[in-house]
Amino acid sequence: MKRLIINLVLVIALICFCFSAYKLGSYAWHTRQTKQMSSELSGLVLTDSDTITVSSDSSDQETGTDSAQAARDAMMKKYGKLYECNSDFAGWLSIEGTDVSYPVMQTPDEPEKYLERNFDGDFDYHGTLFADARCSLDPETISTDTIIYGHHMKDGTMFGSFPDFEDADYCRAHSRITFDTLSRPGTYRLFAVVLDQVPEEGSEHEKDIYYNFIDAEDEAALDTYLEKLQNYAIYYDAENVPDFGDEILTLSTCNYHTDDGRLALIAVRTDQ
């Protein structure tokens, strides 16, 4: 009987070991695949020197409509191969001086489609960065705040490096963010880093700092939002806060300072 119990314990231990080895191996495989895919996708993006440029002579005579169309043409040339591969592709996000450089998806009819899917739509723990379905990326109807979500991966991919931004010096050294859409390029400057919490369904609790801030109806709404940011920010650059009418970019990921915690980088567009 004693020997039977010992054998049973050994079998259970072996099963647990094999399962753990499988999970670790699977995670490592997905990490390698994610990095390889990211490299391949980056290779499909044309450099700025390869895209359409407008000469200074012709740009002086362009109307706003012509200029907007030229920007769309340039972006489609730069990122067109990605869009051809997957029409859910909405733009490309990168943070200067970091490894963050990934495609961004948006699927209004299936908001969290890429939560655990890679660019090709296959299962992947890492998921793919995606824009909030409530946000408009169209320059004609652009949202005040565009929110992009990404996983906090322990291997450092996606938004896994965001805890580095809990240091003010790091924030100042890595404040330039670019988010190009298929309509136009975009450059942003980081002005706040906040710790937040996912609001419960249907609630509007005090710590809902940015999740439900999509469009500022008026200057007062923006002021209320900025006041919340400043109260809960672990980094806040008061000299670069947005004015009413400016565009905001929020990059959100999980954080473990509380249940359902979130860490967000918040930036203001500088090339409007």
For range 193-207, the mean pLDDT: 70
Cα Rg of the chain, angstroms:
22
Does residue 5 fall inside a structural domain? no
Q: How confident is the model at residue 222 (pLDDT cuts 50, 70, 90)?
A: very high
CA distances to 38, 143, 216 from 220, in Å: 41, 17, 8
The whole-number pLDDT of residue 15 equals: 63
At residue 137, does pLDDT exceed 80? yes
Q: How many domains does the chain have?
A: 1
CA distances to 68, 93, 180, 185 from 49, in Å: 19, 19, 15, 14
Interatomic CA distance for residues 267 and 187, integer angstroms: 9
Top-confidence residue, 150 or 207: 150
Does residue 252 fall inside a structural domain? yes
At residue 175, does pLDDT exceed 60? yes
176-181 and 89-95: which strand pairing? antiparallel
CA dihedral 259, 152, 112, 117 (to 10 degrees): -140
Angle at 148 between CA 83 and CA 201, to 5 degrees: 125
Does residue 228 fall inside a structural domain? yes
The pLDDT mean for the chain works out to 86
Lowest average pLDDT, out of 50-64, 90-104, 105-119, 243-257, goes to 50-64
Q: Exposed, middle or buried: residue 152 (CB in 10 Å: 0-12, 13-18, 19+)?
A: buried
Quick one: which H or E segment has residue 130? Answer: strand 130-131
Q: Is 22 helix (H, G, I), strand (E, B) or coil?
A: helix
Angle at 141 between CA 136 and CA 145, to 5 degrees: 50
Does residue 147 fall inside a structural domain? yes
Please state the length of the chain.
Answer: 272
Angle at 254 between CA 114 and CA 191, to 5 degrees: 105
Does residue 61 fall inside a structural domain? no
pTM for this prediction: 0.84
Angle at 185 between CA 140 and CA 39, to 5 degrees: 130
CATH of the domain at 161: 2.40.260.10
Q: How confident is the model at residue 56 (pLDDT cuts 50, 70, 90)?
A: very low
Does residue 94 fall inside a structural domain? yes
For range 81-99, the mean pLDDT: 97
Does residue 20 fall inside a structural domain? no
Q: How confident is the model at residue 267 (pLDDT cuts 50, 70, 90)?
A: very high
Domain that residue 247 falls in: 87-272
Contact 214, 265 (CB under 8 A): no
Does residue 15 fall inside a structural domain? no
